[in-house]
Amino acid sequence: MSTSTDGQIAAAEEQKVPKRQTPFSQAFREFIPQGWEPYDSTPPAPLASIPSATAHRDALAGAFPGERLVIPAGTLVRRNNDCDHPFRPHTTFVYYSGLGTDREPNAVLVIDTTPDAPVRDVLYFKPRAPRTDREFYADPTYGEMWVGKRESLEEMSAMTGLVCRDISELDAALAAPGPLRVIRDADPAVTARVDAARADAADPGKGLGAGEAGSKGSAADDEQLDVVSSDARFCKDAWEVEQLRDACRKSKVGFEAMIADLPTAVEKGRGERWMEGIFGLHARHLGNNVGYGSICAAGDHANTLHWVRNDGDLHPGELILIDAGIEVDSLYTADITRTFPINGTFSPAQRKVYQAVYEAQEAAAAVATVGHDHKEIHQAAIRVICEYLAEWGILPVSVDEAVSPEGGQFRRWMVHGTSHHLGLDVHDCSQARREDYSGPLRAGMVVSNEPGIYFKSTDLLVPEEFRGIGVRIEDDILITDGPCQWLSEDCPRQIDEVEAWMREIWAR
Ligand code: GLY
Ligand code: MN
Ligand code: MN
């Protein structure tokens, strides 16, 4: 029980204000709540994600009857001193809440399938405080004067279709009897609270029911929630597919803007950074952000797979490999790579390498259908690549030996896989069971198709004409009962089409 006086409480409250903030006088505190127009009582429009998120929650609830599933949004992550990174909610939270953009730091979704639960799905978050509260003017994390007007419980409920409660009520929900599972990596503070609720339940001294050890679950149970929720995301519904199509359409705008600015980027120096900036501009303008750090890799940089430093110059005669995708407001992302000749025309050596990668991508697409396993996409691509490597006299063993598990020599020139699942995460469903991830393709899955060949300038085993050339072509494909659909097909990828695309943009 606290014995603090009101004065001590006020002083403690003031200490939460950043040190460099001038203390607020009593006169100011009395003055600030007065004279404001009342908040608009029109409820915000419901999010278009509601039907999809509701179906996702129904499926998850069905998988864990009689339990309480805790899915945090995550917290703001400090960049340095008192500056945070832009907030991006945890993917599992996005999938089950339907919230996107930067909503909502420190929120927690609880899906309660215990028999006595009065309501199954509840979103706990910190609602907007009234203007009489010091949060309004003094709180740089939540205050309206600092970050804008946030939602009330009723407004958030109208947006999400969820019952909403104040985050201060979360602990009571965690303490109620019944097993808990939490997405452990989303918010360490919430995970600690779940673990504390488990420890309390297991402690006879707490009077919560002796012998309840383990009755509220364990970290191993949490892992199962990760696996099941990751598996659940494999097959996209129609709304999710439309989000991914939209992400591809918007990414095309970004790619066209980069092509248009290639000559400027050559002139300015540090042209890779210019490309990154142009794409980033369109990502922020048309969507939420880039879905991952853009790779803008000119010349030999293309042979560094995750070249995100992007500080190189662009030289006419060389290629630039650009791997970039826009994440739309619902947080679904595209993942597209195109490799362009900086001067608009592929050299004969560049053509040869590009054509090999193109044919590998076509072969991969041919097996990207129901009836094949996901891993066959990679197998189909590497066989074509190995055939070309053999034709060029580079492969030290036969094609069959190279593609066998005991071989793999081709990986010197293509060390990455050809395909991953794509969705809210650029590498989606990564906690899913391995056999599910690489197993049978199902209608509704969206995967990348991204073969490449990377010949480092220092690779003495490679014919001189190829050294320093790196090519990847990456598209996003939807698995259907028939042939796969290319969600990113609006971005040309054949050699002649790419050159024509560039000419057409430069003539605009
Ligand atoms: N952009 C990362 C990848 O292609 O997987
Ligand atoms: Mn990819
Ligand atoms: Mn990519």
Sign of CA dihedral 382, 385, 391, 394: negative
Residues flanking ligand 1, CB < 6 Å: 292, 323, 335, 420, 426, 448, 450, 474
The residue nearest atom 4 of ligand 1, judged by CA position, is 335
The string of pLDDT tens digits covering residues 448-483 is 999 999 999 999 999 999 999 999 999 999 999 999
The answer, yes or no, to whether residue 430 has pLDDT greater than 80, is: yes
Residue found under tokens 């922020």 = 284
Provide the pLDDT confidence category of residue 202 given band limits of 50, 70 and 90. confident
Is 51 within 8 Å of 239 (Cβ atoms)?
Answer: yes
Parallel, antiparallel, or unpaired: how do β-strands 446-449 and 336-341 relate? unpaired
Q: Which domains does the chain have, with CATH numbers?
A: 50-201+215-231 (3.40.350.10), 238-506 (3.90.230.10)
How confident is the model at residue 1, as a pLDDT? 34
Q: For residues 86-103, give the mean pLDDT.
A: 98
Question: How far apart are alpha carbons 128 and 152 in whole angstroms?
Answer: 5
Please state, as a whole number, how many other Cβ atoms lie within 10 Å of the Cβ of residue 72. 28
The answer, yes or no, to whether residue 212 has pLDDT greater than 80, is: no
How confident is the model at residue 3, as a pLDDT? 37
Task: Report the separation in Å between the CA atom of 14 and the middle of ligand 2, taken as the mean of its atom positions.
Answer: 48
- Please give the number of the atom of ligand 1 that sits closest to the Cα of 427: 5
How confident is the model at residue 131, as a pLDDT? 96
Task: Report DSSP letters for 306-359, one per residue.
Answer: T---------TTSEEEEEE-EE-TT--B--EEEEEETTSS--HHHHHHHHHHHH
The string of pLDDT tens digits covering residues 110-144 is 999 999 999 999 999 999 999 999 999 999 999 99
DSSP 435: H
Q: For residues 57-86, give the mean pLDDT.
A: 97
Nearest in space to 320 (alpha carbons), one of 293, 300, 349: 300
Least confident of 206-220, 348-362, 466-480: 206-220
Task: Report the separation in Å between the CA atom of 336 and the middle of ligand 1, taken as the mean of its atom positions.
Answer: 8
Reading the block at residue 218, the tokens are 């364990």
Residue in 279, 337, 428 to alter for ligand 1 test, most ligand atoms within 8 A of Cβ: 337
For residue 296, give Cα distances in angstroms to 292, 307, 336.
12, 7, 12
The answer, yes or no, to whether residue 9 has pLDDT greater than 50, is: no
For residue 104, cis peptide bond before it (omega within 30 degrees of 0):
yes
- Please give the number of the atom of ligand 1 that sits closest to the Cα of 472: 4
Provide the pLDDT confidence category of residue 406 given band limits of 50, 70 and 90. very high
Provide the pLDDT confidence category of residue 22 given band limits of 50, 70 and 90. confident
Residue type, 280: G
User: What pairs with residue 69 in β-bridges?
Assistant: 111, 181
Task: Report the separation in Å between the CA atom of 89 and the middle of ligand 3, taken as the mean of its atom positions.
Answer: 21
Kindly report the length of the chain.
508
Provide the pLDDT confidence category of residue 21 given band limits of 50, 70 and 90. confident
DSSP 442: -
How confident is the model at residue 5, as a pLDDT? 43
User: What pairs with residue 373 in β-bridges?
Assistant: 440
How confident is the model at residue 20, as a pLDDT? 73
Q: For residues 361-385, give the mean pLDDT.
A: 98
Question: How far apart are alpha carbons 92 and 430 in whole angstroms?
Answer: 12
